[in-house]
């Protein structure tokens, strides 16, 4: 095909190939079970009781939350509270909904000296833990108010994770300034 015929057939516009059209790639982009199997990612956040993010992870959309609960707790950095001795690395209690009611998660929390406060499947009402869950949902909403974190446009996982950390820092900065 000559240059003139290519320009005439495409209108002079260079079209991108399907491989370069901005599709999400990598091990942290998987089929979303709620969005017709489109590739997507999921943000996992652990917060304190006021909603300040302590740690954040990025996984594929089809990864169950129970697989990320303990690595997310291990990602919490030490908190220096001004007292002598070792800084506290983890929270005292861990609240979670019925999606985290598994024996290996409860054992892992106890091994890390965290009291598990998780609703039991089929026994307890999830409404009682709603007063703790909304704090995490609000923090996720604050993160998703940032345009680049709401819909993933980056092809590489590490770039999206690199944008997720300043987003958490921005939430902490706004909390210090009194906006949240």
* 84, burial (CB in 10 Å: exposed 0-12, middle 13-18, buried 19+): exposed
Of the ranges 24-28, 74-78, 151-155, the best mean pLDDT one: 74-78
Specify the range with the lowest mean pLDDT, choosing from 44-48, 86-90, 98-102, 173-177. Answer: 86-90
Whether residue 108 has pLDDT greater than 60: yes
Q: Where are the domains of the chain?
A: 27-80+87-177
Whether 140 and 51 have beta carbons less than 8 Å apart is answered as no
CATH number belonging to domain 27-80+87-177:
3.30.420.10
Stated as kind and residue range, the H or E segment containing 31 is strand 30-31
Nearest-angstrom CA–CA distance, 121 and 109: 18
Nearest alpha-carbon partner for 110 in 123, 93, 95, 129: 93
Is the model's pLDDT at 49 over the cut of 80? yes
* Both structure tokens of 121: 């499947």
C-alpha torsion sign, points 116, 120, 124, 125 = positive
Q: What is the pLDDT of residue 7?
A: 38
Q: What is the rounded distance in angstroms from the CA atom of residue 28 to the CA atom of residue 63?
A: 9
pLDDT at 6: 39
SS3 letters across 105-120: HHHHHHHCCCEEEECC
Alpha-carbon radius of gyration of the chain? 21
């Amino acid at each position: 095909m000559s240059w003139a015929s290519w320009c005439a057939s495409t209108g002079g516009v260079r079209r991108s190939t399907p491989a370069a059209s901005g599709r999400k790639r990598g091990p942290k982009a998987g089929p979303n079970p709620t969005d017709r199997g489109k590739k997507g990612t999921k943000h996992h956040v652990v917060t304190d009781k006021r909603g300040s993010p302590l740690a954040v992870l990025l996984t594929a959309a089809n990864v169950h939350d129970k697989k990320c609960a303990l690595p997310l707790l291990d990602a919490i950095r030490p908190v220096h509270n001004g007292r002598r001795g070792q800084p506290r690395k983890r929270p005292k209690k861990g609240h979670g909904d019925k999606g985290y009611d598994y024996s290996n998660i409860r054992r892992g929390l106890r091994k890390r000296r965290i009291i598990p406060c998780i609703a039991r499947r089929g026994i307890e009402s999830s409404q009682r833990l709603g007063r703790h869950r909304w704090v995490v949902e609000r923090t996720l909403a604050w993160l998703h108010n940032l345009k680049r974190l709401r819909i993933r446009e980056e092809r590489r996982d590490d770039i999206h994770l690199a944008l997720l950390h300043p987003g958490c820092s921005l939430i902490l900065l706004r909390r210090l300034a009194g906006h949240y």
